[in-house]
Each structure stands twice: as structure tokens, then as C-alpha cells.
Chains A and B, each alone.
Chain A
Amino acid sequence: MTTFLGMPALPAFGSGNLFAGESFPKAAHRELGNAQLRANLGHATHTIRDKRQAVVSELPDWEQLRDAGSAIKESVMARLPDLLEEFEKNFTARGGVIHWARDAREANEIVAGLVRETGETEVVKVKSMATQEIGLNEYLEEQGIEAFETDLAELIVQLDHDKPSHILVPAIHKNRTEIRDIFLREMPGADPALTNEPPVLAMAAREHLRRKFLTAKVAVSGANFALADSGTLAVVESEGNGRMCLTLPETLITVMGIEKLLPTWQDLEVFMQLLPRSSTGERMNPYTSLWTGVTEGDGPQNVHLVLLDNGRSAALADEMGRSALHCIRCSACMNVCPVYERTGGHAYGSTYPGPIGAILSPLLTGIEAEENSSLPYASSLCGACYDACPVKINIPDILVHLRSVDVDSKRGTRKVPSQMDVGMKAASWALSSGKHLGLVEKGLPLGRLAAGRDKKIKKLPGIAGGWTQSRDIPAPPTQSFRDWWAKEHKSAAPSQAAPSRDDKETQQ
């Protein structure tokens, strides 16, 4: 008899706002119907991607910078446990407090507990993807704590009781008239004569936020980077509202994914070039805040950091998918994605939309979670995202990998195989030998018959009907190339055979 203690448990998958509530094709169908949304998105993504292209082109070493960013991230992933311990030691030595959270629930409970200890019932927030991911605002509200978003776009989304549609530009799906209407409806004391001019709207938000900054005792932030060698955290932003949150309150609670570490200050240099150019198309972002522990008499005196796993260890365990954790949340992939451009972020369900979301969400939750299995198919694999990614995440390859994980997870589980399963099996037979394909091609005249007199196939059954909803198929030729070649080369050696001059019949 042996005492088998079992394999170590696999890392747990994440929870929170990482799930698509409905399949991507269904959600996309609805979002595509919104003409205003499409116009807003098309305008915004084109503007940002042109700006990005311009500032990227002016750097002669952009490709080397991308290589450096990718290499640094790869080395971080390879020794993440060591770096996390090094960071913890240095952060703690400088007066900070570290909390470890396995999932969204644990992270939310830790933050709520820390706020409760201060006796406060209000917190100001600087835009943070991690807290969006765990649904912190909603949880705090249940606990009687009100969270105020201070990033302008986050504020707009929050006031509208909506969800962000983009990582960098959460309100990308709204135009300025819509924003004015939201302010008039939801912002206490908004001037009824508010116009839709951007400076006017910005000033209204500024006045609204200023009151919060001056009274809030607790702030919650995310972090763009953490430097292991000194225990330093960094937030990169455009408006300065983040800096107000990071410096004015007495207590600062940061929630950060464990993958955001960098080994040294020197490594930050690479990312400070990659991030602003990729995200906002700027050479440098206006505000970079870095803080290392507590400084007596200056800034927050209680400094906490919640280190969040929430499926990251599970993603790290996926050899093919782990580089998705290199993501620095710049949004360049979504700004160039033709699918995102037409559907917007809500179609993806999760906090992380676009190409990176299509791989990151299923990696964090597991492919079998709810509708997340539809996300890796939300791409034509055109590869624009890979080209734009500043840390060279091979998103198309990971999409294909996750599709295969999805297909394999469903093998043998269905009572009746899907049309796709049947079709792929039949196609595998037909396409795995020249003889088989030759046999199938003998049926080409049938297709020609189906096409009718105008030589077009306009309606196909089953899933192939997706094609004919907006595209015709030409009538097949009378003879395949294979048959033509065989006929031409029956008696002559290939070098002597002249191609037929009579191929009008088979011209497309």
C-alpha cells in the first residue's frame, strides 16, 4: 500500500468581472446594430492609432524597445515568485503593508476591511483595471462604502451607471453631447447651462472632483508597475487626478496584479518609452507618480498593497498562453483591431475587451467558464494586434491555442456532435490526401448546377449560411486544376508539357 498525497492542487481560476455573460456573436450582433456607437468608435480608434503610428515611427529603435520589453517581461514571468518576495521585503522595510489575495473575493474583503479600520465611508479612486476586474466598487457599495472614480472617463462611466468599453479610454463609446447629458442628469449641482465643449465639460468635472479630493481620507489606486529592487510602485496618467489621490489622503490602498513587477528601476526606462507611445500616442505621459513606502509628514501615512492573483498563476501555468501576462494595458491592440472597432468593448463582457481580452479573460477564468469559450473566436486572425503590441504578445497564436483548448474540452461531451465537429472531421478526410480531394472535386459540376444560370450560389444551409448572408459564391469551374494537370501531362513529361491555351472555361 502506498500513501499517495496527490498532485499539488492546480492554481485556482479567477473570479469577478472576467466573464462574458452571453456569447460573443450574440453580443456583437446587438452592438453592431448601434450606429452611433460604431461611428464614435471608428472615429476614436482611427484618431488614436494615427497618433500612435506617428510617434512610434519617429523612434529608430522602436523594434529593439519592443524586444527589450518582451525580454524583460519574459524574465519576470520566469522568476515571479522570487521577485515578489524581493518586492515584499523592500516594500515592507519602507513602511508599506502587503496583503496577498488569491481571488476577487479575498481582495475585496481585504480592501473593505482596511477602509473600515479608518472609520471612513467614502474613498476616492484613481482609474484601476485591477479593481474593475474584482468589482471593488460594487462590493464596497454593499458594505456601505462609497467609491468615487476620479479619472474623467471613469467618472463619466460611473455617473452613467455604465461599464467601461475600453481599457485606456473607458468612455470611448460616448460622444461629448452624450457626456453633457450625463453630467446634467447625474452630477449634483451641475450648471444647467452646461455646453458640450470639452473644456467646459472638463471644468465641470474638475469642480465636482475637487471637493472630493479635499475631503477624502482614503484613496484606492491601481499600479502600472512595481519595482522589486526598491519596493516602489508607479502610476502613469494624463490628468493629475491620480496624483491627487496618491498624495492627499491619509490612507492609500493599492490593488495590483502580481504580474506587474519589474526587476529594477533601470527596466522601467524601457516601459516608460513603450507605454505612452502605445497607449495615448504621446511621447511622454503628463503625470508619472512613484512612491516607495511611507515618508513621515509627506503624503499618505498608511500605505497598503493588495497583491492579486485571481487566475494569474493559472495563466502562468499555461505554457502557450502565459505571455498574455506581459500585457501593460496600453490598449494598442484594441485600437487597431477591426473586430473591436465595430463591436466596442461591451461585446466582450469582461473588464478586458479587444484582442488582449479575448485571450486574457479565458486564461484567467479557464476556457470552460460561462461564455468565455466564445472569446478566442472573436478575431479574424489578421495579426494587426501582434504588430501593435509594445511587448510583442503573439495574440493570434494564443487565440488559436485557446481555440484548440476549447475544442478539446468539448470532445466527446456532446450527445450530438456540432455541425462544426462534423464538418471538420469530413474536411480532414477530404483534405488529407490528393486522391480524396480529387474525388470530392468530381462533384464540382453539382455546385455549378446549384449556382444556376447567373453562376452564383446565394444561399447555403447550416453554419455555411453565415457566409451567404452577405456574400455570393462563384459557381465552381467545370474542371479542377488537378484534373486539368493530369490530362495535360498524361503523355508528356512535365518539362515538355505546354499549358493549355484553352482555359477560358475555368477563368474565374
Chain B
Amino acid sequence: MRIALFATCIVDAMYPATAKATVRILERLGHEVVFPEGQACCGQMHVNSGYLKEAVPVVANHVAAFDTADYDVAVAPSGSCVASVKHQHPMVARSCGDAALEARATAVGAKTYELSELLVDVLGVTDAGAQLGSYFPHRVTYHPSCHGMRLLRLGDRQSRLLRTVQGIDIADLPEADQCCGFGGTFSMKNADVSSAMLQDKAANVEATGAELCTGGDASCLMHIGGGLSRQGSSTTTLHLAEILASTMEEPASVTGEVRVSTGKALR
């Protein structure tokens, strides 16, 4: 299968290792990965902040980058960005009265999958250890991000994959389905409430005694990791793709750059 990678802006710029891990997983399964170079961002930040007019060129760019490329399915290591491509892009096109763009956006959305969705539903991965050689001998807790859970209805696809990684020790996260408080510009516009939500999430992560908190969205992990770091926690975050790509021969690096302790508590 020819699979187009939508790296997402945050992974492209901040977490290239997550995109590389995604490529490794798909190639290990024998698929060909292409990277439509015109891609940039799904535009979710603009839409969710109310800047629909400014979102139009971002959405148009994504649609153009993906409906001209030659591939069978597209994948992104981010539930939130996939939800935006599927649910928001047609709406943005409608808002500017562009019926042709709406039709193209809908078609691109229909071919776009979140990573665990693609692995489980399309590529038939049921056992990451056996099929991908995933090996990760660490104590890990898992945060299911809101948009994957509620907009894409990913269900237990991510945690099922995670549980089949060899050597892994999964600690259940208390109140796992609670939002971490990121919410894009919400974390800046309502910084106090966002911090209060993060504080509870970080405390729950800490309570598990896990070395790492994983999940399917780089943005939520950056938020949770940033809070843990400020709190001086030794727990860090790592994207699910990197755990799945980790093998005995090529282990994922778990020394996060955010991990250095300052001893300063979250406010």
C-alpha cells in the first residue's frame, strides 16, 4: 500500500522523531511511505480560535497537497489533526462558499486515518510485539486524548496496541478520560483554568509511578510533559508511535529533553 504521511505542523517542527517512528512502523509492515511536500498544517488552531477567514488558505493548502498526491490512504500520528481534516475542513470550505473545495476536502478526509486507526482497521495489526517487533521495557501510563477519543471514536485501539508491546508495564491512569487542559489557544486565553486542569492531570500521571506518559497526540503530550517538567517531575512523555517503533535492536530514546528537574512546583 502507498501511504501518505501527514506529519502535522507540531510533529514536523518539534517532534520529528515521532514522524520518523511512524515511517519506520509502516515500512516495517512492507508499505511505501510518501510525504506530500506541500503539506503544512490542518488549520485547527485557526478554526478553534474563531479565525475562519485565516483558516481558509491553510485548509486549501492541505487539500491541495493531499488531493494531488498519489497514495491509497493518508495517516497522521495525531487524532486531533485527523479530526480537524475530517470534520473541520469541509465546514471551513462551506464557510467561504467554496463548494468545490468542500467536495475535495471531504474526499481527502475520507482517506485520512489516525495512526492506530490505520494500524488496527486497515493494516490488521493486532499484536504489536509479534507484527512490529515492538519492545519497550518501561513502566508506562497512557492518556487518551480528547479528540481521538470523542471525535474519532478511537475506542481502545491505541491502548490495545500498547498492551501488546513486549516488555511494557502499563499503569492505568486515574481519570484518564479527563482533558489535560491544552485546548490550543485555550491554554493561553484561559491560562489559569488550563493550568488547574494540567495540575490534576500531572498529579494523576505522577500517582501511577510510571516513567513515561504516552498518547497519540504530540500537542497534549507537550502540554503534559511541559507541566511535569515545570513541576520537577522525573516522569516525561513519549508519543505512542515511538513506543510502537521501538525494538530490541533499535530502542526508543526515553531521555526527554523536557525531563531536567528544576524542583519548581506547578502553580
Contact = CB atoms under 8 A, between A and B. Distances in A.
Contacts, number: 249
Nearest to B41: A431
Q: Is the interface on chain B under 10, 10 to 19, 20 to 34, or 35 or more residues?
A: 35 or more
B76 interface: no
A500 interface: yes
Contacts of A194: none
Contact of B260 (A420, A454, A477, A500): A454
Interface stretch (B111-119, B130-138, B162-170, B218-226): B218-226
Given A376-B50, A400-B50, A503-B17, 18 more contacts: A32-B192, A381-B48, A383-B146, A384-B177, A386-B150, A387-B150, A403-B50, A428-B57, A433-B38, A454-B260, A458-B230, A472-B229, A481-B7, A481-B16, A499-B24, A508-B14, A508-B15, A508-B18
Contacts of B24: 499
Contact of B186 (A380, A471, A473): A380
B40 A470 contact: no
Interface of B: 7, 9, 11-20, 23-24, 27, 32-41, 43, 45-55, 57-58, 60-61, 65, 95, 146-147, 150-151, 177-179, 181-199, 222-223, 225-227, 229-230, 237-239, 242, 250, 252-253, 255-258, 260, 262, 266-267
Interface string A486-499: 10010000110011
B17 to A, nearest CB: 4
A466 B65 contact: no
Contacts of A140: none
A384 B256 CA distance: 31
A342 B197 CA distance: 8
B258 A456 contact: yes
A503 B188 contact: no
A387 B184 CA distance: 20
A432 B242 CA distance: 28
A436 interface: yes
Tell me what chain A mostly uses at the interface: helix, strand, loop, or mixed: helix
Interface of A: 24-25, 28-29, 32, 38, 338-339, 342-343, 376-384, 386-387, 400, 402-408, 420, 424-425, 427-428, 430-437, 440-441, 444, 454-456, 458, 463-464, 466-467, 469-477, 479-482, 484-486, 489, 494-495, 498-501, 503-504, 506-508
A501 B17 CA distance: 11
A499 B51 contact: no
10 contacts: A25-B190, A342-B193, A382-B150, A400-B47, A433-B61, A434-B65, A481-B7, A503-B16, A503-B17, A507-B255
A343 B195 CA distance: 12
A494 B46 contact: no
B191 A433 contact: no
B50 A406 contact: yes
A342 B196 contact: yes
A81 to B, nearest CB: 28
A403 B19 CA distance: 32
A437 B181 contact: no
Given A380-B183, A480-B13, A427 B45 contact: yes
B58 A476 contact: no
A470 B195 contact: yes
Given A32-B192, A499-B23, A499-B27, A379 B186 contact: yes
B230 to A, nearest CB: 5
A499 B16 CA distance: 12
Contact of B54 (A425, A440, A480, A503): A425
Contacts of A425: 54
Nearest to A28: B193
Query: Can you list the 5 inter-chain pairs with the closest CB atoms, starting with the nearest?
Result: A380-B183, A403-B50, A471-B226, A466-B191, A382-B179
B42 to A, nearest CB: 9
The residue among B9, B50, B181, B187 with the most chain A CB atoms within 10 A of its own CB is B50
Nearest to B181: A380
B195 A469 contact: yes
Nearest to B267: A470
A342 B192 CA distance: 10
Contact of B193 (A343, A458, A471, A485): A343
A28 B184 CA distance: 18
Contacts of B183: 379-382
Contacts of A477: 14-17
A454 B229 CA distance: 11
